[in-house]
Amino acid sequence: MFPEPRIVGGANAAFGRWPWQISLRQWRTSTYLHKCGAALLNENWAITAAHCVDNVPPSDLLLRLGEYDLAEEEEPYGFQERRVQIVASHPQFDPRTFEYDLALLRFYEPVVFQPNIIPVCVPENDENFIGQTAFVTGWGRLYEDGPLPSVLQEVAVPVINNTICESMYRSAGYIEHIPHIFICAGWKKGGYDSCEGDSGGPMVLQRESDKRFQLGGVISWGIGCAEANQPGVYTRISEFRDWINQILQF
C-alpha cells in the first residue's frame, strides 16, 4: 500500500489539458513539498484523498493550481496558490481499509479561472463506467521507489468491475475486499498505473453527451505500482455526490 503521495507507463501531458489538476503541498522544515494530487471542484473547493491530509493541520497545506512543469518558471499561463481554510474529511474515513478516503478543502480566497485552471464535473448519475477509458494524472513516481517527474504525467486505464478487481488481486496473492465505494482501473498485464505521489489526484472520464470530463474517482490505494493483476483502486465519486454537494454549499 502507498499511504502517501503515485503515474507509471504514462506520458507528459500537454500544457492545460487537465486544468483541474492540483499539486497538494505540505510544509516540510523550510518549504512546501509536493505530497499528493487534488482536483478543483469550484472556485472555493478542491477534493483529495483523506489519507493525504489525515492529522495534518490546514495551516501546513498549500494548493498549487495551474501547475504543469514543477521545474519551469516560464509557462503560457502562471499557477495560483491557495492556503487551506477548512479540511472536511469524510467522517467514515478508515485509515486501515482506506474506505471513505475523501477530503474536501476550502480555500481562503476563491481562485480565478483561467485556461489552465478550470474545475472538473462531478458525475450526475450512478453510471459505473465499466469498460470505459479513464485518464489518471499526477506528479507521482515514475515507477515504484523511482524518481518524481517534473512535468505532469497522464495515463489511460480501463475501468474494471470490482468483482474482477478482487479476483485479479487474488491471483496476485492478495485477499482484498473492494466494496462499491471503490472503483478499480488498470490493465491485467500491468505496466500503466498511478504511483506514490499521485494519491488524491483525479481519475476522469469523458462524457459522451457534451464531451466534458467528469471525476470518476480519486486516487486512493494500490499494491505496488503497475504490477500485473494489481489495478489501481480509487474512491468512487458518484457514491459521494450528495456528501460533496452538501459541503460545497458552504
Categorise residue 246: left if φ over 0, alpha if ψ from -120 to 50, beta otherwise.
alpha
Q: Is 126 annotated as catalytic?
A: no
Q: Measured on CA atoms in the order 176, 180, 181, 185, is the torsion positive or negative? A: positive
Task: Provide the residue type at 99 as one letter.
Answer: E
Between CA 135 and CA 143, with CA 140 as vertex, the angle to 5 degrees is 95
Does 167 qualify as catalytic in the annotation? no
Contact 88, 244 (CB under 8 A): no
For residue 135, give the C-alpha cell.
Answer: 485518464
Which is catalytic among the residues 23, 34, 90, 101?
Answer: 101
Q: Which of 89, 199, 220, 238 is catalytic?
A: 199
| From 51, 89, 193, 220, active-site residue | 51
Q: How many CB atoms lie within 10 A of CB 210?
A: 8
**Would you call 155 helix, strand, or coil by DSSP?**
strand
For residue 1, give the nearest of 93, 96, 90, 101 by alpha carbon.
Answer: 96
Known catalytic residues?
51, 101, 199
